[in-house]
Structure 1
Amino acid sequence: MKYAKIISSGIYVPKRKMTNKEFEELTHFQIDPYFSEQIGITHRYISDETETPTYMAAEAAKKALARISMKPEEIDLIIVGTDTPEAISPPDAARVQYLIGASKAEPLAFNVNASCANGALLLDIASRYIALGDYRNVLVIGVYAMTKFLSWKYSWEALFSDGAGALILTADDKPGYLGSVSRCDGSWWYNWGIYMGAGTMNLNGFERGLHKLDLRAAYPATVNEEGWPILINKLMEKCNFTKEEIGMIFFTQVRKKTIITVMEKLQLPVEKAHMVMDKFGYTGSACVYMAYDDAFEQGKLKDMEGKVIIFLTSGVGFQQVAVAFRG
């Protein structure tokens, strides 16, 4: 049996930066000090018309490939996770395959949409493909272009930022990938999302603004504070590791205070939860890969041999996914 091992990462950050002050001037909402102190976001990045989802995804992938001097044709499978795709159809992943120069090798390429839970889910899917022996090198990419879907007239829109993160996994004889756990509650499907689609095209969808992100009903404030510790404990039980073996946890970068609270509940030092919302804003499907890349750049992943690294992501819909790897 083969195990998936993470061997490289790369990110793409758009050129345009918008500070909290600039957001306040644009929308006439005061978001600070709350956003800076509680959420942990001081600015966000706005992609321009050339920085499309496939462009950002490809640029992140190119950096991940360059870091380990891997040729694009060595990639056997490409999975893109996003809920802000370049088009409903065809999938972004096929375009990314072409943009990174991998099309001659014809690796399979497809999209996944579990909203912002994509990060952990893609790693789980890729690892299972590798375990089956069908693929050796798998490229997973999370990309987020949510600013394209904002109305810029609500205070909560200050949360969102654009960007892409990519990880490369390869087959190894020892773990590697340990396993995953997840939960989903579709009763919250109507709470928050972009509701333009086949079910609304003929119902005056554009006139009703359904092509824009819509917060219809807030999720419970404790949905992650309660759900994340539950999943971590289930993951430890299922994959047979202890709390003391955890080296790093990459949570969905949605709220700094939530991550701090969860680490306190788990009785783990907050330093083991690397956070990047202060650098990149909230980048949805890309955020945990961007956090991983940033931790790598800072040298925080050097001493992870034998330690467990966890990715735990949440998304509207509603779903949460946690996946574990041993360094």
Structure 2
Amino acid sequence: MPGIKILSSAHYVPEDVVTNDDLAKIMDTSDAWIQAHTGIKTRHISLKGENTSDLATKAAQIALAKAQVKPEELDLIIVTTFTPDGLAPSTAALVQRNLSAKNAWAYDIMTACAGFIFGLSTADKFIRSGAYRKALVVAAEVNSKMMDFKDRTSTVFFGDGAGAVVLSADDQIDMVKGEQMCTIGNAEVVHSGRIAPLTTLSANNYPVTDAFTQIGRDVFDEVTMLIPEHIQAFLANKDLETKDIDYFIPHQANLRLIEYIATALNEPLEKFSRNVVYNGNTSSAGIAIGFDELNQTADLTGKRVLLTGFGAGFTYGSILLEL
């Protein structure tokens, strides 16, 4: 059975930066309130017509160039998103077309903010099967298109962006050292894109989707109750402790949650990715962006990196990398 090697990583965010003061001009909020409650200072918003497949394609192109892998060498493309271009075709199919990755089959995974973890896990299994050699996993979100900009309790958190990794089978190296995935069905704490079923037959029937909404306090309570314990139990099962992890890349929900997790694990905040401060909550893309930023700035040779995603569903999980 082959091992898994991460050949490259990349990320892309839209060029338009929206500050807290910009949001305060259109809703009842302030820079002081947003920073106090979320730690977020800025976010990138797609204001020039870039959709999720566009962000995903740009991140993928950078990752493929870094890996010196041609699109036609790809066997599989997975896009993780809960803000797809549409229900059909899949966003992954659009990325496959944009890249001219003619030999790859492609599909989406939708597990909200935990998506990148589930995408990596899925690609890992296809490669380990021996039937596929190279895979592209992209986490991409245009959260802004799903927001109600009158809802200050949700909208101030979110930004748009994409992150990508290129994976390859390898007979000598195995960078993926373990994983655990969990789901607790809860449809009320966070939801987005609901389309109501018909109640009558009428020529006026037309599908309408709802905006993203969350019960922020319930989300915070759920994460703080589950995630530190999940991380500790996951590592203990590998005969590891949190001190054995060099870098943590959690979902970039908000800075206050990351601070809470770091304190609960008794680990310094410096070991945690915190791109949420300047990117906002980019849903499934936050971990992928954090991994690429770390990959660009640190020598990860021999380092252990823990990726932990959690999001709507309630879905969460971790993947341990040794690079």
- TM-score, normalised to structure 1, is 0.90
Residue 252 of structure 1, CA deviation: 0.6
- Report 1:69-148 matches (<5 A): 69-103=68-102, 106-148=103-145
Indicate the residue corresponding to 1:226 in structure 2: 225
Residue 218 of structure 1, CA deviation: 4.7
Letter in 2 for 1:227: L
Aligned mates of 2:215, 2:228 — CA distance in 1? 27
CA deviations 1:29-75 (Å, max 9, x no partner) are 12432322442211222213530111110000001111222211121
- Match of 2:124, SS state, is helix
Indicate the residue corresponding to 1:13 in structure 2: 13
CA deviations 1:179-202 (Å, max 9, x no partner) are 21122211x2122212433xx142
Aligned mates of 1:206, 1:37 — CA distance in 2? 44
Residue 119 of structure 1, CA deviation: 1.4
Residue 229 of structure 1, CA deviation: 1.5
- Report 1:59-74 matches (<5 A): 59-74=58-73
Letter in 2 for 1:288: I
Please tell me whether the aligned partners of residues 181 and 234 of structure 1 are also in contact (alpha carbons under 8 angstroms): no
Aligned mates of 1:63, 1:85 — CA distance in 2? 21
Segments of structure 2 that go 5 or more residues without pairing to the other structure are none
- Match of 2:64, SS state, is helix
- TM-score, normalised to structure 2, is 0.91
Please tell me whether residue 321 in structure 1 is matched to residue 317 in structure 2.
yes
Aligned mates of 1:46, 1:306 — CA distance in 2? 36
Return closer, same or farther for 1:214/1:262 CA change in 2, 3 Å cut-off.
Answer: closer
Q: Identity percentage over the alignment?
A: 26
CA deviations 1:252-273 (Å, max 9, x no partner) are 1112122122112212221111
Return closer, same or farther for 1:191/1:178 CA change in 2, 3 Å cut-off.
Answer: same
Please tell me whether residue 155 in structure 1 is matched to residue 152 in structure 2.
yes
Cα RMSD (Å): 2.2
Return closer, same or farther for 1:291/1:100 CA change in 2, 3 Å cut-off.
Answer: same
Aligned mates of 2:151, 2:198 — CA distance in 1? 27
1:193 to 187, 191, 194: 191
Letter in 1 for 2:280: G
Indicate the residue corresponding to 2:248 in structure 1: 249
Please tell me whether the aligned partners of residues 245 and 307 of structure 1 are also in contact (alpha carbons under 8 angstroms): no
Return closer, same or farther for 1:159/1:131 CA change in 2, 3 Å cut-off.
Answer: same
Letter in 1 for 2:25: E
- Match of 1:116, SS state, is helix
Please tell me whether the aligned partners of residues 302 and 322 of structure 2 are also in contact (alpha carbons under 8 angstroms): yes
Residue 160 of structure 1, CA deviation: 1.0
Please tell me whether the aligned partners of residues 232 and 241 of structure 2 are also in contact (alpha carbons under 8 angstroms): no
Segments of structure 1 that go 5 or more residues without pairing to the other structure are none
CA deviations 1:215-251 (Å, max 9, x no partner) are 3675252322232212212221333434332111110
Aligned mates of 2:81, 2:255 — CA distance in 1? 22
Aligned mates of 1:14, 1:206 — CA distance in 2? 35
Letter in 1 for 2:20: N
Q: How many residues align?
A: 318
Return closer, same or farther for 1:63/1:33 CA change in 2, 3 Å cut-off.
Answer: same
Aligned mates of 1:248, 1:108 — CA distance in 2? 33
- Report 1:272-283 matches (<5 A): 272-283=271-282
